[in-house]
Amino acid sequence: APSVPASVLSVVPVMPVVVAHRVEDAVQIARALVAGGLPAIELTLRTPVALDAMRAIADEVPEILLGAGTVLTPGHAKQALDAGARFLVSPGATPSLLAGMADTGLPFLPGTATVSEVLICLEAGITEMKFFPAEVSGGAPYLKAIASPVPEARFCPTGGVTPANAPTYLALPNVGCVGGTWLTPPALVEQQDWDGITALARAAVSLAEA
Ligand code: 3PG
């Protein structure tokens, strides 16, 4: 079985969140991200082809760390595991969803937006989580404010994160990486401009290094 990282937040500074409408697009996007220095992908379970796309990426681009996003139920978690996912991301954190994701044995980032949700995750032994939807939930100032009372929790803020605000998040001690869809604009995918996606990935890596 492919290896699973101890820390999902420490693999890439920017986690590409991808909504794929065609299997072949998903494979090309995965290749383009790897070429640009981002060997990880959160492929969302939001389209009918998502699970097939995960299987294709697992087969054809094994060097990318493949994650499933938009995991809403324990059933989704199991389907993603079977399709080759190596980590899971959810937008929320209900007790049954946390249990279902834990049952897969994969690392996972539950979605949180309040201190109580963060504490529910910490009580379950989960210290890495998604902060979603980041910008409208208080953004970087919110994460900064909770770093002192709950320093054990580390986040991947996602939702409204852009190249302009990503550095502010990445500078926080409780942020491991940020997530966003800006690496795969629908227009570039439509034009099959995979080099354009590689360029956006490169830019994301260098903004994180700056
Ligand atoms: C997610 O599921 O994480 C969001 O859809 C991210 O979307 P955005 O980067 O376009 O805000």
Q: What is the pLDDT of residues 114-152, one digit of tens each?
A: 999 999 999 999 999 999 999 999 999 999 999 999 999
pLDDT confidence of residue 95 = 95
Atom 7 in ligand 1: which residue has the minimum CA distance?
Answer: 159
pLDDT classification of 6: cutoffs 50, 70, 90: confident
In angstroms, what is the span from residue 91 Cα to ligand 1's centroid? Answer: 10
- 153-184 pLDDT, tens digit each: 999 999 999 999 999 999 999 999 999 999 99
pLDDT at 2: 56
What integer pLDDT is reported at residue 48 of this predicted model?
97
Active site residues per annotation: 42, 130
Q: Whose CA is nearest to atom 5 of ligand 1?
A: 159
Structure-token pair, residue 203: 């830019």
Residues with CB under 6 A from ligand 1: 17, 44, 69, 132, 158-161, 179-181
With a cut of 70, say whether residue 1 has pLDDT above it.
no
* pLDDT value, residue 208: 84
Q: Indicate which atom in ligand 1 lies nearest the CA of residue 130.
A: 3
- Tokens linked to 127: 């210290």
Going by CA atoms, what residue is nearest to atom 8 of ligand 1? 159
Q: Tell me the pTM.
A: 0.96
At 164, the amino acid letter reads A
pLDDT at 91: 98
Q: Which two tokens stand for residue 26?
A: 């998903």
pLDDT digits (tens, 9 = 90+) for 54-106: 999 999 999 999 999 999 999 999 999 999 999 999 999 999 999 999 999 99
Instruction: Assign 201 a pLDDT band (cuts: 50, 70, 90).
Output: very high
Tell which atom from ligand 1 comes closest to the C-alpha of 162: 9
- CB 169 within 8 Å of CB 7: no
Specify the pLDDT at position 5: 79
Average pLDDT over residues 14-21: 98
pLDDT given for residue 51 in this prediction: 98
Expressed in angstroms and rounded, the spacing between residue 70 Cα and the centre of ligand 1 is: 10
Q: Report the Cα 14 to chain-centroid distance in Å.
A: 8
What is the chain's alpha carbon radius of gyration, rounded to the nearest angstrom?
Answer: 16
Which residue among 181, 183, 189, 200 is best mutated to probe the pocket of ligand 1, counting the most ligand atoms within 8 A of its Cβ? 181
Question: Any idea of the CA torsion for 196, 44, 25, 164, to the nearest 10 degrees?
Answer: -10
8-209 carries CATH number 3.20.20.70:
yes
Q: Are 71 and 101 in contact (CB under 8 A)?
A: yes
Q: Quick one: which atom of ligand 1 is closest to the CA of 180?
A: 9
